[in-house]
A and B are shown apart, each in its own frame.
Chain A
Amino acid sequence: MTLSIAGAAFKKPSALPGFAPTLGFTLFYLSLIVLLPLGALVAKASGLGLGGLRAVAVEPRVLAALKTSFGAALAAASIDVVFGAIVAWTLTRYRFPGRRLVDALVDLPFALPTAVAGISLAALYAPNGWLGAPLAALGVKIAFTRWGILVALTFVGLPFVVRTVQPLIEELDRELEEASATLGASRLRTLARIALPPLVPGLLAGLALAFARGVGEYGSVIFIAGNVAYVSEIAPLVIVVKLEEYDYVGATGVAAIMLGVSFLMLLAINLLHAWSRRGLGHV
């Protein structure tokens, strides 16, 4: 192999063939589909310069949308962490009829197209909908307000938390909990001091995943959000609006800001996953 001299450091020797063609194809396809298009966006955005990016970011409408997107995504991810942890705990520790069906259903937001989720949530929470009508009687309006964004993002983020925490709960050492109980700790204290700490990195990773997804989410939100500029408009929608106005510079600027956040979130998620694995002693 021609790679052998340089490859001694690059790749460990292996008896299996096919390294060069498969890695070559992987890198080629990755570059063509992902890296070049994203690189083009980064190149175009860097043409704006930091000042140009800042000018786009502080545009009142853009700023309001970024605040809405980040705020709603963080709030929704926090709701998902609380209820996702309860769902994961219930599904892992308890046995009840229909548990398997419920467990399968948790992945629904992964599989259901966002536009379908969007129109069904909007229909559900509309003033004449199944949930919207009773809520309207109480004077609560969800659909076509900022609360609608929260509902949609909570839906979208839930499986990220459940699926990140579930395997960690499965691997918890119950003997530690028994030891804690025999030493006189109340169940609540055992949960807080013994069961919860190993789950924290997973919960944070789930939070980060749900947040990252929520910030960029478009399809499930636009139907239920109302999309009023400065009030209930999300950042991805601002990109779409700017494109429709042929404001490519503005669209690129907003996209570059969101892409930067994606990179940071990806980094944070990888670190959290590494932490969570180390915490369990798997390395």
Chain B
Amino acid sequence: MSDAGVPTVLLSPRDVASESAGARAALIAVALGFLTLFLVLPLAIVFSEAFSRGVAAYLTALLDSDARAAIALTLTVAAIVVPLNATFGVAAAWAIAKFDFVGKNLLITLIDLPLSVSPVVAGLVFVLAFGAQGVLWPWAAAHGLHVIFALPGIAMATVFVTFPFVARELIPLMQQLGSAEEEAALTLGATGWKAFVTVTLPNVKWALLYGVLLCNARAMGEFGAVSVVSGHIRGLTNTIPLQVEILYNEYDIVAAFTLASLLALLALVTLAFKTYLEWRFVGAARRRGAG
């Protein structure tokens, strides 16, 4: 993907292993047209609608008390979920990338499993476990623990949905890097922990950071799973995406898109960071790996 040395001109027409200039132009037009229709316009309309009544209306919607409660809850959920899944991701990547054991591929598949489960099903399993008819309901009730329609349920469903994000970024990179550097550190007298902190972590820090960002973006934006467990109690159990839904269904379009614009901005920052990392590190590593 990286092509720092290639000038941005169309390939020479004499190149037999390429399409004619006309075909190239047509394919580029089709690709860009499709992407404009499906990606650019949906992104543009978020900000266009959010600011359709001016900056004052935007700020009013943003400072509304239910909106602020939703933002606070979303930040709280992310603060719980992201460290948990980051810790898991690092531990799983160490076990999988540094060791060979039976059932490793099955383990990798199971880690990816939440990605193929419908978010609604993800929410449902926690309702079934902790809801009024659930197997864990007597236990939770005995301990005065409110899970469903409360913060713990929202956090659990979000942990499930964002489960593999950090692990998925770290595992392939750490597999590619191998164990030679850590082994050298051990022979020089470092403890395992020190080898991890001084050798492994600096090698994978950008992938870790990107995994954390991705996990964070999904945690803040999760809708289906959270919608099932939250109970939609205004100012109490509504995250930003749920508040967006309520506002939209009440035809408060400006306010809905105002809150949506926060999430869209988060998505853009995440993408920009990913592009930067790819350009700066992954492209270079891939070239090294291929060479």
Contacts and interface: CB of A to CB of B under 8 A. Distances in A.
A130 B41 contact: yes
Contact of B42 (A104, A155, A243): A155
Contacts of B77: none
B3 A95 contact: yes
Given A104-B271, A115-B244, A23 B101 contact: yes
Given A112-B267, A174-B17, A124 B45 contact: yes
Interface string A177-190: 11001100001001
Q: Is the interface of B mostly helix, strand, loop or mixed?
A: helix
A35 B42 contact: no
Contacts of A114: 119, 221, 223-224, 241
Given A40-B125, A111-B217, A216-B119, A33 B163 contact: yes
Contacts of A9: 102
Interface stretch (B6-14, B56-64, B138-146, B201-209): B6-14
Interface in A264-282: 265-266, 269-270
Interface residues of A, number: 107
B35 A87 contact: yes
A262 B41 contact: no
A255 B124 contact: yes
Interface in B178-196: 179, 182-183, 186, 191-193, 195-196
A30 B30 contact: no
A131 B271 contact: no
Contacts of B260: 113, 115-116, 119-120
Contact of B120 (A16, A22, A166, A239): A239
B99 interface: yes
Interface of A: 9-12, 14-19, 21-23, 25-27, 29-30, 33-38, 40-41, 44, 83, 86-87, 89-97, 99-100, 102-121, 123-124, 129-131, 151, 154-155, 158, 166, 170, 174-175, 177-178, 181-182, 187, 190-191, 212-213, 215-219, 223, 235-237, 239-240, 243, 248, 251-252, 255, 258-259, 262-263, 265-266, 269-270
